[in-house]
Chains A and B, each alone.
Chain A
Amino acid sequence: MSAASLAAQLLNGLASASSLFVISAGLTLIFGVTRIVNFAHGSLYMIGAYVAYSAGTALGAYADSPLAFWWAALLAALAVGCIGALIERLLLRRLYSAPELLQLTATFGVVLIVRDATLALFGAEDRLGPRVEGLDGVVQWFGRAIPQYDVFLLIVGPVVLIALTLLMRRTRFGLLVRAASENRILASALGIDERKLFTTVFALGAFLAGLAGALTLPREPANLGMDLAVIADAFVVTVLGGLGSIPGAFVAAIVIGVTKALCIAAGNVSIGGATIAMPKITLVIEFIVMALVLLVRPSGLFGTPQAPPATTTVPLERALIARPTRRHALAAVALAVVAVLLPLAGDEYALVLSIDILIAALFTASLRLISGIGGITSFGHAAYFGIGAYASALAASHHYPFVAALVLAPAAASVAALGFGALCVRLSGIYLAMLTLAFAQIVWSIALQWDAVTGGSNGITGVWPPDALANRTRFYYFVLCTVTAGLVALAVTAFTPFGYALRGSRDSPLRAAASGIDVRARRIKALVLAGGFAGLAGGLYAYSKGGTAPDALAIPRSVDALVMMLLGGQTALFGPLLGAAAFTWLQDALARATEYWRAGVGVIILLIVSVFPFGIGGAASAWLPRLLRASR
């Protein structure tokens, strides 16, 4: 690699870092004050790009002014700021006291709705923005032509940093924001109008996201994938910099930008005979950088450590985990009878859907062990599902016998979970949640990039069960038995000494340790167990679908698991099964009815968090006894 190409890549990396900082500054500002991690921040960025595109095109056609782009960018940023304020007032306001799991999931609901709204308004094609008058030339840099616009972007980052710093240090608004970030309760005791402040801060954060989206337009076209692509980067930057720290986000954005540039400049590197295409693994690299920094500094570069609370305050309704009763046993028997008799109905499609539901239920139940019972918020549970799917599919394509290939799925996923747990279990709360997401993204990009082994974006096909199970009904019975065994094992686990110790560690880590419970060891064990059952679900999935592709471990699948868990209710005994059945059926029905099924799922998510925070299972266990009593 030449010095010139390195210099050019560095400049390019810093230009990207600049816009990444503008997005992340908004994200970190919102977190600092409201303590909400806004999954929809990437969507706001995407809206900014699309609005700037439309406004720029319209203004350009109307006035042909050289300033058209700048007016469009400003307009886009303001519009997104307003949308942000609207989202805060209509949705987030209800969620400030909710557990972070609900908050993150709710903002993901917004992601889905925005995605489909954008699809409906702008269509699926990429939209390339207008030329920027006066900045469409190039400058010479180490003998290379660099777009003038990149140089402009390079300046934007520091300008925004200075502006935000002045805003925080020199204005009354900044003082209020800092006070609220430091101590929310104290701030409101001092008479700060919390609601107004939160709305303003959210609008400001959204404004920055919209601005960044608009400013990206001359470099890359507006497209429907940019929301999740940028949110992964923005999460890494905010977590690396320390949640809530604007200077931290700036430094982290530069670290990430430069690291990416170096990877691209490095080209293909051969290590021990294997050639690694460095430009392709930038995503992996940035997550590895984040993971390494968090291992040394658990609160990021500039973050302040937050002491864990002595006792987690759990809402009463959520807290009680119902011990199995005779009524549960009766319900289980009834369900089993229905499940066994189902093939007699002769509906092939019902069988396919039931297999999907069963697999989803096992996946959800495994997540519930670590999240619902262990209190470890996981945003990357799909990693274990996908690893299981790939392990089985790879083994099958190498002609391993069915049983061996299926056993390999939980084994591989457990090993991965053990590795992740050993490294990350000392983190907690939102930082751990971000690491689970990072881990899943790493596995996802490996599955996507490592063509030779994983088949790249096509995945692995031709994975079918042996002849003895080739018949759909037989395969259904096989899945039914396997999943039932898994569900029963996971349900019983909650009431073993291990399950109680895990819950105790979640409720009060201090008390648990003082009672002689090795909190970290229990958490690692929970991760390994949950990873194993998720892997088993993944293995069954690969055999039921005839193979697997990278979407088996993408972010949406992790979120699906969370939604199914929340939908079913985290404390209800049949929660995972109920949630999986309701969600899988709804998603299927929506997907057949409309192109915009994602928005439908988004609406379901918002309904769950605002109307049924304890899920349908929780609602059922609250209402059924009352109804029964009333009818007597």
Chain B
Amino acid sequence: MSAPLLVVDALSKSFGGVHALRDVSFTVTPGETVAIIGPNGAGKTTCFNVIHGELAPDRGDVRFDGRTLLRKPPHAIAHRGVGRTFQVAATFASMTVRESVALALVARERHDRAAVASMLTTRSAAIDALLVRLRIDDLADAHCAALAYGDAKRLELAMALALTPRLLLMDEPTAGMTPRSRRDLMELATGLAERDNVAVLFTEHDMDIVFGFADRVLVLDRGALIAQGAPADIKADPRVKAVYLGLDEPVAHR
């Protein structure tokens, strides 16, 4: 097993009296797909926000490729190679799909003449490649604000991939999508993990997706990491069952 790419070390974060994260530690290695599950309010999104620099933790450290990410603004973390999609798909409402992808591609580059040219024309092989890869090439000139939710999610992933990330954070990537497009999107993400050795960390409520695609599963409950392991072990873990039966039924067979 190779050295971990992401090391989350004893993270704690509370809001007022609520402990959103309590002493959470885990690692993710390149090429690995890891799911974080847990009932609503378990701290999944807080965990993502701390890793991605939107929130500062009270205690603990996040290291990426051996260097800490703490006190780095989100855009600097993006430059280090961490891509992210959000729970509620965030797209650029005033742009077309093609413009958004073009912007995401130049954002990581220096603003040289080629970047200016590529924005002025919004035509390049890299843009087309990403559009095709996410199967949104037929929507290239559609307006982001008018996209169906599933397409917005795919566009968001395209923008995250434009960074050529080494770690991809996806917060509920398939929420609000049809079952078919859920599997498509996840196949794409995990294919990336295998092909380009990208680490993928995602949260998910759909247990079919979690157990179908994750190499490893982390279980959060009220801010604490109560279990982690291979999907089969997690499925059988009595503590996990208790958490879910007590609070939130896993949506395994709908």
Known: A314-B93, A319-B143, A320-B143. A497 touches B111 (CB 8 A): yes
- The DSSP consensus for interface residues of chain A is helix
Residues of A within 8 A of B91 (CB): 311, 507-508, 511
Stretch at the interface among B125-133, B156-164, B200-208: B156-164
Residues of B within 8 A of A311 (CB): 88-91, 93
Residue of A nearest to B112 (CB): A497
Task: Tell yes or no: A495 within 8 A of B by CB.
Answer: yes
Identify A510's interface contact among B90, B102, B162, CB under 8 A. B90
Stretch at the interface among B71-79, B190-198, B218-226, B237-245: B71-79
Q: Is the CB of B92 within 8 A of A497?
A: no
Known: A310-B88, A501-B107, A510-B90. A496 touches B120 (CB 8 A): yes
Q: Is the CB of B75 within 8 A of A516?
A: yes
Residues of B within 8 A of A517 (CB): 75, 107
Interface string of B157-180 (1 = CB under 8 A from A): 001101100000000000000000
Task: Tell yes or no: A306 within 8 A of B by CB.
Answer: no
Task: Tell yes or no: A145 within 8 A of B by CB.
Answer: no
Task: Tell yes or no: A513 within 8 A of B by CB.
Answer: yes
Residues of B within 8 A of A313 (CB): 93, 145
Q: Is the CB of B159 within 8 A of A511?
A: yes
B79 to chain A, nearest CB (A): 5
Interface string of A190-221 (1 = CB under 8 A from B): 00000000000000000000000000000000
Which residues of B (79-109) have their CB < 8 Å from a CB of A? 79, 83-84, 86, 88-95, 99-100, 102-104, 106-108
Residue of B nearest to A508 (CB): B90
CA gap between A499 and B91 in the complex, in Å: 16
Task: Tell yes or no: B22 within 8 A of A by CB.
Answer: no
CA gap between A311 and B111 in the complex, in Å: 25
Q: Is the CB of A500 within 8 A of B73?
A: no
Residue of B nearest to A315 (CB): B145
CA gap between A273 and B159 in the complex, in Å: 58
Interface string of A317-351 (1 = CB under 8 A from B): 00111000000000000000000000000000000
Question: What count of chain A residues pass the 8 Å CB interface test?
Answer: 31
Residues of A within 8 A of B163 (CB): 515-516
CA gap between A510 and B88 in the complex, in Å: 11
Residues of A within 8 A of B160 (CB): 514-515
Q: Is the CB of B94 within 8 A of A498?
A: no
B69 to chain A, nearest CB (A): 14
Interface centre among B54, B79, B95, B145 (most CB of A within 10 A): B145
Q: Is the CB of A319 within 8 A of B145?
A: yes
Residues of B within 8 A of A3 (CB): none
A228 to chain B, nearest CB (A): 34
CA gap between A507 and B143 in the complex, in Å: 13
Q: Is the CB of A504 within 8 A of B90?
A: no
Residues of B within 8 A of A314 (CB): 93-94, 145
Task: Tell yes or no: B186 within 8 A of A by CB.
Answer: no
B123 to chain A, nearest CB (A): 12
Residue of B nearest to A520 (CB): B73
Task: Tell yes or no: A519 within 8 A of B by CB.
Answer: yes
Q: Is the CB of B74 within 8 A of A514?
A: yes
Identify B107's interface contact among A321, A503, A506, A516, CB under 8 A. A516
B30 to chain A, nearest CB (A): 20
Q: Is the CB of A497 within 8 A of B75?
A: no
Interface centre among A314, A499, A517 (most CB of B within 10 A): A517
Residues of B within 8 A of A497 (CB): 103, 106-107, 111, 115-116, 119
Q: Is the CB of B78 within 8 A of A515?
A: yes
CA gap between A500 and B111 in the complex, in Å: 12
CA gap between A182 and B106 in the complex, in Å: 40
B54 to chain A, nearest CB (A): 8
Task: Tell yes or no: B146 within 8 A of A by CB.
Answer: yes
Residues of B within 8 A of A500 (CB): 95, 99, 102-103, 106, 119
B173 to chain A, nearest CB (A): 14
Residues of A within 8 A of B76 (CB): 518
Task: Tell yes or no: A2 within 8 A of B by CB.
Answer: no
CA gap between A201 and B195 in the complex, in Å: 61
Which residues of A (298-318) have their CB < 8 Å from a CB of B? 310-314, 316
Q: Is the CB of A504 within 8 A of B103?
A: yes
CA gap between A516 and B104 in the complex, in Å: 8
Residues of B within 8 A of A320 (CB): 94, 143
Identify A513's interface contact among B78, B93, B94, CB under 8 A. B78
Task: Tell yes or no: B52 within 8 A of A by CB.
Answer: yes
Q: Is the CB of B78 within 8 A of A316?
A: no
CA gap between A498 and B88 in the complex, in Å: 26
Q: Is the CB of A495 within 8 A of B92?
A: no
CA gap between A617 and B99 in the complex, in Å: 23
Residue of A nearest to B88 (CB): A310
Q: Is the CB of A496 within 8 A of B116?
A: yes
Interface string of A471-509 (1 = CB under 8 A from B): 000000000000000000000000111111101101110
CA gap between A499 and B119 in the complex, in Å: 9
Which residues of A (515-533) have their CB < 8 Å from a CB of B? 515-519
CA gap between A496 and B122 in the complex, in Å: 10
Residues of A within 8 A of B159 (CB): 511, 514-515
CA gap between A500 and B95 in the complex, in Å: 9
Residue of A nearest to B116 (CB): A496
Residues of A within 8 A of B89 (CB): 311
CA gap between A498 and B143 in the complex, in Å: 20
CA gap between A314 and B94 in the complex, in Å: 7
Residues of A within 8 A of B52 (CB): 514
Identify B111's interface contact among A312, A498, A506, CB under 8 A. A498
Q: Is the CB of A504 within 8 A of B92?
A: yes
B117 to chain A, nearest CB (A): 10
Q: Is the CB of B92 within 8 A of A511?
A: yes
CA gap between A399 and B107 in the complex, in Å: 46
Residues of A within 8 A of B106 (CB): 497, 500
Known: A500-B119, A516-B79. A511 touches B86 (CB 8 A): yes
Q: Is the CB of B92 within 8 A of A316?
A: no
B146 to chain A, nearest CB (A): 7
Residue of B nearest to A498 (CB): B111
Q: Is the CB of B94 within 8 A of A319?
A: yes
Residue of B nearest to A506 (CB): B94
CA gap between A538 and B86 in the complex, in Å: 44
CA gap between A310 and B86 in the complex, in Å: 9
CA gap between A495 and B160 in the complex, in Å: 21
Residue of B nearest to A521 (CB): B75
Q: Is the CB of B73 within 8 A of A518?
A: yes
A593 to chain B, nearest CB (A): 39
CA gap between A628 and B152 in the complex, in Å: 33
Residues of A within 8 A of B146 (CB): 316
Known: A314-B93, A500-B102. A514 touches B84 (CB 8 A): yes
Residues of A within 8 A of B74 (CB): 510, 513-514
Residues of B within 8 A of A519 (CB): 75
Residues of A within 8 A of B103 (CB): 497, 500-501, 504, 515
CA gap between A198 and B107 in the complex, in Å: 44
Residues of B within 8 A of A513 (CB): 73-75, 78
Shortest 4 CB-CB contacts between residues of A and residues of B: A516-B78, A511-B90, A513-B74, A507-B92
A-B contact pairs, 16 of them (CB 8 A): A310-B86, A311-B90, A313-B93, A316-B145, A320-B94, A320-B143, A495-B119, A499-B119, A507-B91, A508-B90, A511-B156, A514-B74, A514-B75, A515-B78, A515-B104, A515-B108
Q: Which residues of B contact A (CB under 8 A)?
A: 52, 54, 73-76, 78-79, 83-84, 86, 88-95, 99-100, 102-104, 106-108, 111, 115-116, 119-120, 143, 145-146, 156, 159-160, 162-163
13 additional contacts (CB under 8 A) given A314-B93, A512-B107: A310-B88, A311-B90, A314-B145, A497-B116, A499-B119, A503-B95, A511-B86, A511-B91, A511-B156, A513-B73, A515-B108, A516-B75, A519-B75
